[in-house]
Amino acid sequence: MLSILGFLMVISIIVILLKGKMSPIVVLILVPLVAALIAGFGIEEIGEMVKGGIGTVQNNSILFIFSIIFFGLMSDVGVFDGMVSALVKRAGNNVVLITVATGVIATIAHLDGATATTVLVTVPAMYPIYKKMNIRPQVLILILASAMGVMNLLPWGGPVARSAVVLGMDANDLWLRLIPLQVLGVIFTLGLAAILGIIEKKKGAGISIEEATAIEIGQEDDIKGQDLKRPKLLWFNLLLTVAVIGTLVWDVMPAYLVFMIGLCLGLVINFPSLKAQDARIKAHAPAALVIAATMLAAGVMVGIMDGTGMLEAMAGSMLSIVPDFLGRYVHLVFGVIALPLGMMIGTDAYFYGLMPLVLEVGSQFGVEPFNTATTMLVGKNISLLVSPIVPATFLALGLVDLDLKDHMKFSFKWLYGMSILMLIASILIGLVHI
């Protein structure tokens, strides 16, 4: 009974999220609550389950709120503008350097973990150069997609935070274990950018285009955006950003506290007045609060699945149909299909609906949950900007006037190759065990 009810609950959550007819917050709270009531649990019992589930996600929710606002603030004051401009100028009209610079810019821009921000920083800056140098826009979006997929392994990136919730661990602790793979991912992305640049050059791109060196980043910024820049405080803001990231790696205090302190210093130094500080917080709070609220809602689902025994019952049912010879490789199977699966299933449905089941089944065959989560996480990340159910995909395509089918046809094979390469790398460096 619990197993059937659990599967119906998960299927309902996935279907409703895929249809996009209801907020993930509503779905992740109401559906599990209804399932628990149908299973015969009382209000008081359900309350204790939810309390336990919320307790596993609250730290990551706080981390999300303050990290997104912090990086949004650093973007406002122009921390990344100078780096982007310098990279473009140095690349000049060299096609390979332009594509590699695109990878570097996208990597830096995605430090805040916000897909829309990364798209709006990278594409407007690079697309005019791509047009002047006759480089196909598909190349720009592909490099952007790869960089975003790799940088989403940061602890304030949605997939890592969601995986941490499912694993019941701190997002920063999960990220510290993923750092070697993320470093390799950045190298792979820049390598991919170089290969694409060579291919484009052979196709005739970059012929006598001197205007490329004259393009300045931020020419089209509106007056309001320019008013937020703090060029005289650039070094302070750069050092503050480096200090925040360095403290996270050092792991001497809770990650959310690091961003709390960083945000406070950034606000006080850059915007001394109360009115200006409130304006900056309000500008970035909506995105931060929606994600944090979704994570807390997921805590309700996690608590109910664990507390009712649904997860264990569902895993037992799946276990009975998985061949013994395949069971110990279940994490690798899902690692291989993670990208195409991630393209079709929304982030919340993937991490909060599918992942808990696969983790439980894998653990029954002796596969550590971390192994399974890592293989599923990497492929899903790389699928981010090639998925038709991710709004940022259409934002990026709209900025370069590119059809979704042309983008998917061009990018899928490269991104799938990147996904498999990351999976192999995770095995070779001992992050994932066979």
Across residues 327-341, what is the average pLDDT?
A: 85
pLDDT at 288 over 50: yes
Contact of 295 with 162, CB cutoff 8 Å: yes
Q: How far is CA 42 from the centre of its chain?
A: 37
pLDDT reported for residue 78: 82
pLDDT reported for residue 220: 44
How big is the chain, counted in residues?
Answer: 434
Kindly list the distances between the CA atom of residue 77 and the CA atoms of 57, 87, 91, 100, 225, in Å, as whole numbers in the listed order.
31, 19, 25, 25, 9
Angle at 397 between CA 394 and CA 403, to 5 degrees: 100
Q: pLDDT by residue (tens digit) across 396-430? A: 887 788 887 888 889 999 999 999 999 999 999 99
- The Cα 269–Cα 290 span in angstroms is 27
Helix-strand-coil percent breakdown of the chain, rounded to 5?
80, 0, 20
The mean-pLDDT minimum among 52-56, 211-215, 332-336 falls in 211-215
Q: How far is CA 182 from the centre of its chain?
A: 12
What is the pTM assigned to this prediction?
0.67
pLDDT reported for residue 253: 85
pLDDT at 389 over 70: no
pLDDT reported for residue 207: 55
- The Cα 390–Cα 115 span in angstroms is 9
- Residue 423 burial (10 A CB sphere; 0-12, 13-18, 19+): buried
Task: Please name the amino acid found at residue 176.
Answer: L
Angle at 284 between CA 122 and CA 383, to 5 degrees: 45
Using a pLDDT cut of 70, give the percent of the chain over it.
88
3-state secondary structure of 430: coil
pLDDT at 209 over 50: no
Kindly list the distances between the CA atom of residue 22 and the CA atoms of 29, 162, 285, 293, 299, in Å, as whole numbers in the listed order.
12, 19, 21, 14, 18
Q: Residues 375-412, buried b or exposed e (16+ Cβ, 10 A)?
A: bbbbbbbbbbbbbeebebbeebbebbebeeeebbebbb
Q: Which of 271, 73, 28 is nearest to 165 (CA)?
A: 28
- The Cα 316–Cα 308 span in angstroms is 14
Confidence category of residue 139, pLDDT binned at 50, 70, 90:
very high
Contact of 119 with 78, CB cutoff 8 Å: no
Q: How many helices (H) and strands (E) does the chain have?
A: 21, 0
The single-letter DSSP state of residue 202 is H
pLDDT at 156 over 80: no
Q: pLDDT by residue (tens digit) across 343-375? A: 766 677 788 878 888 888 888 888 888 999 999
Residue 12 phi/psi, 5-degree rounding, is -60, -45
